[in-house]
Amino acid sequence: MTELAARNGAERAQALLKLTQRLTDLIRQETSLFKERRPQDALPLQDEKSKLANIYRTEVSRARQEPTRFAGAPSTVKSALRQSTEVFHKALAENGHAVAAMKQLTEGVVKAIADEAARQKSAGGGYGPGATHQTHAPSGMNLAINQTI
C-alpha cells in the first residue's frame, strides 16, 4: 500500500492528517528513546514508521503534481493538515539531532575500543627495568560491551 484509501479530496485530506499525526507520534517516541540512550527499544517502531513514511512521501509528491488532489476538503481540515505538517517537520528536525547525537556517541565508543585495543597490542611484556617488549601479537583480547550504553 503506497497510497491513502480515499474516495475524494476531503477523505484524502482527512486521511493524510491522521497519517501525519501518527507518523509524528512515532518520530517523537523514537526521539525520546534515543535521548534516553535506548535505541534498541525503538526497533519495534521501525516497520510502521517506514510504511507510513512511504505513504506520506507518495501523497505529498502527488499533491505537488496534482494541486486539486484535496479538492472539496473543508478549510478546517486543510488548516489542521498544514499545522500538523509543521509539527511533523519540527519533530523530524529534533529526531535528526537525536540521531546525530547517537551517531557521535557510538563513534566515540568504537574509537575508545579501537584505541584500547591498539594500546594493549603495543604494551610491553613484564614489569620493571628488565621487562621485554612483546615481539608477537597477543593471541586474544577480552572485550565487554554494555548494550544499554
Angstrom distance (rounded) from CA 126 to CA 132: 6
Q: How far is C-alpha 18 from the geometric centre of its chain's CA atoms?
A: 21
Residue predicted with more confidence, 86 or 146: 86
61 contacts 52 by C-beta, under 8 angstroms: no
Angstrom distance (rounded) from CA 97 to CA 86: 17
For residue 80, what are the contacts with CB-CB under 8 A and spacing of at least 6? Answer: 17
Q: Which segments of the chain does DSSP mark as H helices, in order?
A: 9-35, 46-65, 75-122
Angstrom distance (rounded) from CA 26 to CA 44: 10
> 104 φ, ψ to 5°?
-65, -45
> For residue 144, what pLDDT is reported?
62
pLDDT range class, residue 138, cuts 50, 70, 90: low
Residue predicted with more confidence, 44 or 2: 44
17 contacts 80 by C-beta, under 8 angstroms: yes
pLDDT range class, residue 134, cuts 50, 70, 90: low
The ranges assigned to domains in the chain are 9-117
Q: What is the pTM of this model?
A: 0.72
Q: What is the CATH number of domain 9-117?
A: 1.20.58
Give 6-46 pLDDT, tens digit per residue.
Answer: 889 899 999 999 999 999 999 999 999 999 989 899 999 99
pLDDT range class, residue 123, cuts 50, 70, 90: low
Give 39-88 pLDDT, tens digit per residue.
Answer: 899 999 999 999 999 999 999 999 999 989 899 999 999 999 999 999 99
Tell me the Cα Rg of the chain: 26
Position of cell 540512550?
Answer: 37
